[in-house]
Amino acid sequence: MRVFLKRGPAPRAVAMVRMLRITRLALLTAALIAPAWSLAAQSAGDDSNPAVASGDSEQKYRALLDRAQAGEAEALFRRLQTESEELNWAQADAIEVVGNLRFLKMDPADPATNAPGIYLIRSLEGELFVLTLPEDRGELAKGSASVYAGLADQVKFRMSFPLLSVSARVDGEEYRFVRYAGAPERGLLDRLFYVFIILMLFFVMMGMGMTLRLKDFALVLLKPKAMIVGPLCQFGVLPALAVAFGYAAGYPEEAPFIFVGLILVSASPGGVTSNLMTYWAKGDLALSVSMTAISTILSLFFTPLILTYYASSVPTVVIPVKDVALQIMALVIVPLIVGMAVRRWAEAFALKSEKFFSALGVFALLFLIITGVANNLDKFSDLDRYGLKFYAVIFGLTISAMVFSMIVAKLLSIDNFQIRAIALETGLQNAALAMTIAILLQDRMGDFNSSMFAVAGLFGLWMYVAGGIMIAIFPRVLPVDHKVRIKDER
C-alpha cells in the first residue's frame, strides 16, 4: 500500500534552514576570496620574491632529496659532515633563522628512527643550511643538557634557530654550514595557532555529532544500495579522479605536494556542506546525513590508506600514516562520539546549540582559508605553481566527481532523489579537516610551499560554486516530484 505524505518542516530540515542562512555569508565571502587570492598573490610577486631569490637553494635541496631517495647520498652526506667538523667556527657569523628542520636518511629504506643521515635547515625564504652535529651523539637525546636535545622531534614544527654560520665548498658546490648557538624555539603565536585550529575543529566535529543519532547509521539497513554506492563513490571514484587529474597536470613530478593535496582532500570524509547543499537541492537529506556520518567513521581507515596507496608513486613524499590516523581519531572520531553522547543524554542542549555550532563550522572554514592565504602570500605568488592549471584541476575535479557518481548511481538504478544526495556527498568534502591535516603535517613532510593547504583551501571555496552549478542542473538531469513523498508500507 502506498501512502502519500506532504513534505513537512522536519526538525532536521528546520536546522538546515538555519544553517543555510548562516552559510549565505560564507558563500559571498568565498566568491570574494577566490579572485582576491590570485590577485593578492600576484601583487606580492616582485623581483624580491623569495621563491625566485632562493631558486639555487631550492634546486640544491631537491637534488639532495632526490639523491637520498635514490639511496645515492651516503658518500656525499659523510663528506658534508666531515667538512663541517673541520671548519674554523671561530670566524662564524651569528644569524637567526626562522624555518624548518629536515632530516634526510642516507638509506631511505632503513626504518630505524636513529638511522644515519643529514639534518638541513630551510628558512622560510628558501635558504638552505647544513646542520653540523656534535661529536657526542648523546647530546641529541631528549632530556640532555645540550642545545641539540630532542633534535629528532624538531622536524615537526616551524621554529626559530639561533645559529653560527660558515660557508664552504664540497664537490664543487658551495654550502652554508651551521651550528646551534642556542636552543631552537617555537614562536608563541605559532603554538597558539596550532592549539586554536585543533580546538576549533574538535568543537566543529562535536557539533556535527550533536546532530546525529544512532538511527542515522541504521539507514544502512533501510537503504543499503544507496548507502553502499555513496561511500564507494566517495572513497573510490573521487580519489581515482584526483589521481587522474594530478597525472594529467604533471603534478607528481612538477609539484608532488599539490598531487598529495589532491589525494588528501579527495580522501577526506563528507561534511555539513554536503548536507546543506542536499537540502538546498531537495535531495534525500536523511541519506546525506547518514552518508556523512558513515564516511566520517570510515575515514579513520580509508584516509591514511588512500593517501599511502596513491602517494607511494611519488618517491620524494613519505606519508606519516600513524600521524594521519591519530589526527583523524583525535579531531574527528572522538569529538563525533562526544557530540552523539551529548545528543543522547542532553538532547535539549544539543538542539539549542545547533545554530552556534553551524556558525562555528562556517567560521572555521573561512578562518583557515583567510589566515592560511595571508600567511603564504609570498608562496602563492608563484603563478607557475598556482596558476590557471591549478584552478582548472580543482574545479574540474569537483564537477567530474559529481557527474561520475551520478552515472554510477544511475546505472545501478538508484532513484533521482537519492542520486542528488550521493552526487553532492561525493563532490563536497570536509575541507576544514583536510586543511587542518595539511597544516599539522606540512612542516614534518617538507611541504614548504603549503601546497597541500592550498589545494584543500581552494577546494573548500570552489565546492560551493560547483555544488551550486549541480543544483541548478539537477531539475533537468535528475527530475524529482517534490509535491509528494512516497513510502511503502507493508
**Cα–Cα distance measured from residue 244 to residue 224, given in angstroms and rounded to the nearest whole number:** 29
8: Cβ–Cβ under 8 A, 6 or more apart, which residues? none
pLDDT of residue 109: 56
Query: Which CATH code for domain 2-44+188-488?
Result: 1.20.1530.20
Q: How far apart are CA 10 and CA 16, in angstroms?
A: 10
How high is the pLDDT of residue 486?
A: 46
pLDDT tens column, 46-60:
433 333 334 566 677
Q: Where are the domains of the chain?
A: 2-44+188-488, 51-180
pLDDT tens profile 172-196: 888 999 999 999 998 887 788 888 8
CB–CB of 375/124 below 8 Å?
A: no
165 φ, ψ (degrees, to nearest 5)? -125, 135
Cβ contact 103:114 at 8 Å:
no
Question: Which of 8, 89, 4, 90 is CA-nearest to residue 485?
Answer: 4
Q: Is 151 left (phi over 0), alpha (psi -120 to 50) or beta?
A: alpha
Q: Show the CA angle centred on residue 256, arms to residues 250 and 257, nearest 5°.
A: 130
pLDDT at 423: 96
CA distance to 201, 241, 390, 450, 456, per residue, from 373 (Å): 18, 26, 15, 10, 12
- 162 closest CA partner among 145, 146, 185, 140: 185
484, 5 contact by CB (below 8 A): yes
Identify the CA nearest to 436 among candidates 198, 242, 187.
198
The pLDDT assigned to 213 comes to 80
* Mean pLDDT of each 10-residue bin along the chain, 490 residues long: 43 50 46 42 40 57 75 81 86 91 72 69 86 86 89 85 92 90 87 83 85 75 85 95 96 92 94 87 89 91 94 82 90 90 87 78 74 67 81 94 95 94 94 88 80 89 91 93 51
Q: What cell numbers appear for 361 in the block?
A: 563550522
Q: In this predicted structure, what is the pLDDT of residue 180? A: 94
List, as own/partner pairs, every contact residues 187-193 make where C-beta atoms lie below 8 angstroms and the sequence separation is at least 24, other chains included. 187/98, 187/158, 187/159, 187/160, 190/157, 190/158, 193/371
Among residues 467, 479, 411, 431, the alpha carbon closest in space to that of 232 is found at: 411
From the list 236, 233, 219, the residue with the least C-alpha distance to 412 is: 233
Residue 29: what pLDDT? 47
Side-chain-side CA neighbours of residue 341 (13 Å): 6
